Structure 1
Amino acid sequence: MSIGSTITDIFSLSNAKINDVTIDVNNKRLSGINDVTIDVNNKRLSGWTRVSIRRGIEIMPSTFELECTEPSDTHSALPEGADCVIRIGGQAVITGYILTVTRRLSASEHILSVQGTSKTTDLCECSAKFQTYQFNNIPVIELIKAICKPYGIGVKTIGAVDNIVIPKFSVILTETGYEIIDRMTRAAALLFYDDTDGNIIVSKVGSETAASGFVEGKNVEEASVRRSLSGRFSAVTMILQTTSPLAAMPGEDTQISQQMNDLTVGKDAIDPMVKRYRPLLISAEMGDAGYIVSQQRAQWEVNRRFGRSQSVQIITDSWRDQSGKLWTPNTLAPISLPILKVNTTNKLLISETVFRLGNDGTHAEITLMPAEAFMPQPIVLNAANSGVVQAMAEG
């Protein structure tokens, strides 16, 4: 198919494929639901023979790659750096920029390949600039919006996350916007990731459940389940970094033991699935009043290491759940894979989606893990009375 034959003006869609889209899952009318198009320079281009669209809660920016054979003279409609919107069935999935356009010619084929990213690519790569690099009593969301504004990136929030205030926050001169937001959101126990419109979402770990999940023998083409004890520990202990242990003479086992007890902050966080003696010591951070964050950090280490050790990779034959909604990162989904010993009512969190189209048809590659794998690491930004620390203690 020639890509040139499918170029239409997006402000005059009478001939565009989008008018062919019908979503009615119950009656099986799905015409055009998976058509992939790119809007660029007021044109809508389709006819792509190979597609890869990648999104995730730990992927920023989202990326896409589109490829077609026998392209016509469309170079003026696909300049590198151009604004674009990638759509599936008329629904935006990535809003951003074309980064690279590659044309290949051989005796047997003529191929056009287009790669690009979400608008958040600038947030990840460019240094943040402010009139001041010291902020007092500023809401987390307000500062995130200030960071994103110069790039034309909006900020959306899910849940009650707008009222967290940081009493004092300093920006390092060379930091990117992404790095600054990462520090703030970790302190507030929040996630941030790309939205389909090129803006970012600031949210807790997802609690919304997809209309359907992944069931062996129904919509699972291929599955891989990984369980591991690698990187996990029987107990995580938070300690104070002092010179006290150096004062004990060699062989004074009782004294050394007592000194270690004095250095311990709070109770150990235990992983009951690790049966061997595998201790992990972590230094408590300065400015942690009552060592509240230290206690949370110890348990976070256990929870996150557990979550990361229990991953499921799914290849499914559909880009959508049974309600017609695209598989979405930060959404829970039930899993039933009895042969692989996964047959449970527990739901796993979708962390990454890759929508692929090629010679073998349409497939979605889905990565899922327990929600614990994505809880942000507790950190101390400021001294004791920080509103962030208080919010975390109350939450």
Structure 2
Amino acid sequence: MKRRTYLVTAAGAVALAGCAGSGGDPDEEDEDDPNDDTPEDHGGDGPDDETGTFDDFEDLDYWFTKEGSMSADEDRSLVGSQSVKLESAMSDERVMISRTFDSPQDFSDQVPGMAVASDIILNPIIQLSDDSGDRIEYRGRVDPDLPLMRYNFGVSKIVGDPNVSEITSIQITTWTGTEKERTFWCDDLFFVPRLETGTVMVQFDYGHETTYTEAYPVLEEYDIPATAFVNTNYVGSDSRMDLEQLEELHDDGWTIASQSATTADLTESDDPAAQIEAGVEWLEDNGFEDGAGYFAYPLGRFDEAAVDAVESHHDLGFANGYGVGGEIANPQLCPRVGNPDADDAAQLLERTAEMNGLTTIYYNELDDDRLDSLEETMATLSEMASDGDLEVVLPSDVEEKYVF
């Protein structure tokens, strides 16, 4: 396969968040170097299995605290009998724990993830560092007031030129800023396989008419398939695609999927399952059965009831997160990156190709700026796919091949 060197490794590279312009993210701020202390050697290697659970935090002697505090919590766990509870005091700028290995570990074909729970929106970081201190950082997006569950992490930053086949330490951290206390729980630090080829999905939210009038001609020019998530009660209403337009997209290879019956915040609904069921029924009644298994959370918001309903009625659910991930460990919370500008999208695609990652990009209603970014990004994606560096897929492909 023809391969270009796309990977950006400059120190301080931009962290690519899950939803551009979402605001309110306490972890998206200027950061000092979180790897400025040399980890103590607490030794130990991971289990023999190459993927799956790497550390269940049953033995915290492998870990030491670099900032904040660490303790076992036997009242909250996903695997084993306990989780690790991480807390920051008002004077702490971050919470960080670290573990070093007796011998270097090869993570070149794997991507980490973790089960996390928090009382606030959180973007925890898993850092893999080599002996020179160069590192690769993976982030996940965690919504508040959910039980411990697995999250799919993706690459957010690369510092130096890390040798991922010779990793000597692993760190778990989140930034707290000053005068903030924070508590969160971690369990089931796991690894999933990378893909054989960098893989990309393109998606459009809310069934806006600009998906048909503006995006469709661009993607048709480059022969790129995509997914349109629709609020089924709004099909054919003002500024939304009608049934005929959706049928044309579907006939041309697009997936037509659900974003609930309405745009209502599912976390404020008395019965989110009813909203989700109505969307499935509409798709099945109107000839879009092949897309009825896929869902995007309206407004990007969900709670335990919404996640449970998605698990009951859909095969994959999509929420804000980070790109350049591995196989999907939690199918109800597949991560995706929203409305990236052309530069951010180019970096995502480059890293996805170089690291054989999985990245999903989605767009909302297309104004002039977003349309310009979309056009440039689709041209880049088409070129990289033609060169064999990327594969463009639909949710059915992910469900079939890339769920861990």
TM over 0.5: no
Task: Say which structure is richer in strand.
Answer: 1
What is the TM-score when the length of structure 1 is the normalising length? 0.24
- Point out which structure has higher relative CO (alpha carbons under 8 A, 6+ apart): 2
What is the TM-score when the length of structure 2 is the normalising length? 0.24
Indicate the structure (1 or 2) with the bigger Cα radius of gyration: 1
